[in-house]
Copies of this chain bind each other. A is one copy, B any other.
Amino acid sequence: MSDISPLAPKGGFPKLPVIEGVRFAAVEAGVKYAGRLDVMLAEIAEGSAVAGTFTRSKTRSAPVLWCQENLALGAQAGGSAILVNSGNANAFTGDNGMSGVEVTATAAAKTLGINPRNVFVASTGVIGEPLPASRITDKMSELRAGLSEGNIEQAAQAIMTTDTYAKGASASVDLDGVTVQIAGIAKGSGMIAPDMATMLVFVFTDAKINQSVLQQIVSGATVTTFNSITVDSDTSTSDSLVVTATGKAAMEEISSITDPRAAAFTEALHGVMLELAHLVVRDGEGATKFIEITVNGAESNAAAKTVGLAIANSPLVKTAFAGEDPNWGRIVMAVGKAGEAADRDRLSISFGDILVADKGWVSPDYREDDGVAYMKAQDLSVTVDLGVGEGSATVWTCDLTHQYITINADYRS
């Protein structure tokens, strides 16, 4: 295990609220790692709504395909579950992949007395090795015995791979006088996929909400949270986000996206998702800087995001941040390569509140010393105005350091 990221939140894992209708268990199954929690089971009460978003990779893993099929089939009668292992991604494992999913999902379903098609499975770890499914199925009794509403932190630990700390976030929101709780956990270091298959996120709420409305909210909130972060531009075979709403709060169901409570719930859920997304970036491999990049003045919000990600993914921009070098010329380069409309002679760039470039050239008031001093901070912001329209977007990333090379050039050998 590496040292904890310097960008990790102080104070360790947060205190998360109990979500009525969800119980967690985590065990040491030795899927690959020895002496640590590596399998987690979440039992979800009957009547819950489950929504999800998944990687768009063309080589997505068997567990991802399974979960997408579950959602397409719709919820089966009875309760649901989430079963996750770390250490093995069960990706690119041929026919063995889906049989591994079926064996473990069926075992969990039998243990909990539910339909296997209500079991959402995720695997994260090495690609291309067959899943040792029996190590997981052997632990089903132990998992069932350990189920408890308070075990979410252990669940967060069990899904870690190269993560340097367990990730959790929560919110509560008042919906017409009813307080609803939201709690989520995540693993991952952004889009990074060493051998590992990257980002897994599980969010739970006691809100009572229709499945299709929940899916719509989750899909929308993903765009500006998990789909707006990048560590190194690589996309995993296994990225999965599953959001579960148990409906245990004493409220009428939210059955339409136009229900005013849907907006309040969306805002709270978005906040939890954004916090988890930021926690993933803060655990980016080798990261020493957390960087927020806002692009304004684009032709559209989508164009702004394209430019933002071009900046966030540029190795030259990321190494400049690592070197605490206010190298705005590299941001000009990244804007140029993004391919979206930009007016070179109206382009402006700021680091924090410092206007660095303006009207297509270095700002007359900019002093290099100010830029150098600004770059010493751990959390940095860059704002770019393209000067052609009203579109805007914000993305988040980290820097590219020697430690990234060390982790990824030496990982398997």
Contacts and interface: CB of A to CB of B under 8 A. Distances in A.
Interface of A: 55-60, 91-94, 96, 126-128, 192-195, 197, 232-237, 313-316, 319-320, 322-325, 327-330, 332-342, 344-345, 347, 357, 359-362, 372, 400-402, 404-406, 408-413
Given A59-B342, A193-B316, 13 more contacts: A58-B340, A91-B329, A92-B347, A94-B359, A234-B314, A235-B336, A237-B332, A315-B404, A315-B408, A319-B404, A325-B413, A401-B409, A402-B405
Contacts of A400: 315, 405
Nearest to A400: B405
B323 A94 contact: no
Contacts of A60: 336
A405 B316 CA distance: 9
Given A58-B344, A335-B58, A405-B401, A329 B127 contact: yes
Contacts of A406: 402
A320 B409 contact: yes
Given A342-B59, A361-B128, A315 B402 contact: no
A17 to B, nearest CB: 36
B412 A327 contact: yes
Contacts of A347: 59, 92
B337 A57 contact: yes
A325 B409 contact: yes
A339 B194 CA distance: 20
20 contacts: A59-B344, A91-B332, A92-B332, A94-B360, A94-B361, A127-B329, A127-B332, A193-B330, A195-B327, A233-B314, A234-B330, A235-B336, A319-B404, A320-B409, A320-B412, A323-B409, A323-B412, A325-B411, A327-B412, A402-B406
Contacts of A235: 333, 336-337
A323 B96 contact: no
Contact of A334 (B234, B342, B411): B234
Contact of A58 (B193, B336, B411): B336
A23 B232 CA distance: 46
Contacts of A232: 315-316
A360 B234 contact: no
Given A94-B361, A413-B324, A333 B128 contact: no
A326 to B, nearest CB: 9
A409 B325 CA distance: 7
Contact of A319 (B328, B401, B409): B409
Contacts of A55: 336
Contacts of A410: 323, 325
Top 4 A-B pairs, shortest CB-CB distance: A59-B336, A127-B329, A323-B409, A57-B336
A7 to B, nearest CB: 17
A361 B96 contact: yes
Contacts of A412: 320, 323, 325, 327
A332 B236 CA distance: 10
A126 B362 CA distance: 13
Contacts of A360: 92, 94
B411 A323 contact: yes
A336 to B, nearest CB: 3
Nearest to A412: B325
Contacts of A315: 232-234, 315, 400, 404, 408
Contact of A329 (B92, B333, B404): B92
Contacts of A57: 333, 336-337
Contact of A408 (B94, B323, B336, B342): B323
Nearest to A338: B58
A60 B91 CA distance: 42
A405 B401 CA distance: 6
A401 to B, nearest CB: 7
Contacts of A329: 91-92, 126-128, 195
